[in-house]
Amino acid sequence: MEDQAALEAGLRSFLARQLGAEDLRLSDVRRHIEGFSWETWDLTAHWQQGESAHSRRLIARRVPQAGLVGPYDVSLQWELARALPLVSSIPLPEALWVDREGEATGRPLYVMEHVAGDVPAPWNSHTYFFDDSARRDVGRQLVEIIAAIHAIDPIELPALIRGREDPDLTAEVAHWERAYERDRIEPVPVLERAFGWLASHAGDVSGHRALVHGDFRIGNAIVRDGRVVAMLDWELAHVGDPVEDLANFAHRLYWGKLGIPSGLLSMEELLDAYREVAGWSVSERSMTFWLVFNDVRSAVSFVTARQLFARGATRDLRYAAFGRQIPYLLRHIMADITSDD
């Protein structure tokens, strides 16, 4: 197990260089255990500048030892975080500094400003919001944000971003099929059939080409005083079909206790709001294609989790538990891909 004292010493040295503060110290260093992509460390830096004492709360995101969405590229994440504020008003934490080679802590990381607020989840949306009006308002804000993301010209994005040269908007399907082939311990016939279904229905994509967040949902948004103040977790961002983001928002894993997309809006409300903001309608066939894809992608992530635990890459029992979720997703996938047989 990693020595947290050594990690803190590395972060302290790195931040001291960035801030020009030799006497810098850290407090309240803790790791967010939610999420399975980048390691996320919350900390407060304290230092003296002349006669003035300063403190600053920061977030460090580090390449994980065993993550579900590899390969990890800190340079791409950094370049995307720096590029987006130049081309859009999307609410984002400010990207501050990057350690591309991992010299400070043994693995690459970047540091961003801490944004105050809450991160609601689909399963608590029925209690987090004061009333249905407040819940729907945040849902509509998220639709406006996703439409703004989709309006960004892909030419403005870092050259390394996945899918930039994808002519038919289905490169993301191929990406996750490769992940399945890399990480499966044994064949999963339903997933192999589902990849075949996606290939045979590739013509159902919308034809719109955009920056796709890749994991757009309420659980990746910071909310403060009823406003969405930051969108987080861009590690799955790529160029592709914007309907993929809407389908992820509506992914059945994120329905919550209200049984609606992200626990915020009904499917009709979601698609109507997107049409009003983006100016075009999403077809049922496109939505179905990407809903199936999101089930498949989640199942592949669980296959990866099971493989990482089985080979000892992590001791986190949640990775082992993910394997038990695979059959539920496979049942939903089979229902969707055989509905038009």
Q: Which domains does the chain have, with CATH numbers?
A: 4-113 (3.30.200.20), 116-165+211-237+253-279 (1.10.510), 170-204+284-341 (no CATH)
Cis? peptide before 71, omega within 30° of 0? yes
Q: For 323, list phi and psi in degrees, rounded to 5.
A: -60, -30
192 vs 296: CA distance, rounded Å? 10
- List the 25-32 sheet strands across, edge first: 25-32, 39-49, 52-62, 109-113, 95-99
110: left (phi over 0), alpha (psi -120 to 50) or beta: beta
Q: For 239, list phi and psi in degrees, rounded to 5.
A: -95, 130
Query: Tokens in use for 29?
Result: 């260093």
Query: Tokens in use for 314?
Result: 């992590």
Q: How far is CA 23 from CA 5, 12, 19, 49, 55, in A?
A: 17, 10, 10, 9, 12
Predicted pLDDT at 285? 96
Q: Measured between alpha carbons, how far apart are the two ends of the chain, in Å?
A: 50
Residue type, 128: Y
Q: How far is CA 209 from CA 29, 129, 138, in A?
A: 41, 34, 26
Predicted pLDDT at 36? 72
The whole-number mean pLDDT for each consecutive block of 10 residues of the chain, a chain of 341 residues, reads 84 95 93 82 93 93 84 91 94 96 95 96 91 96 98 93 89 95 94 97 96 95 96 94 97 90 96 98 97 96 90 84 88 88 57
Predicted pLDDT at 340? 63
Q: For 100, list phi and psi in degrees, rounded to 5.
A: -70, -30
Predicted pLDDT at 161? 93
Predicted pLDDT at 50? 80
Tell me which residue has tokens 């080409």: 209
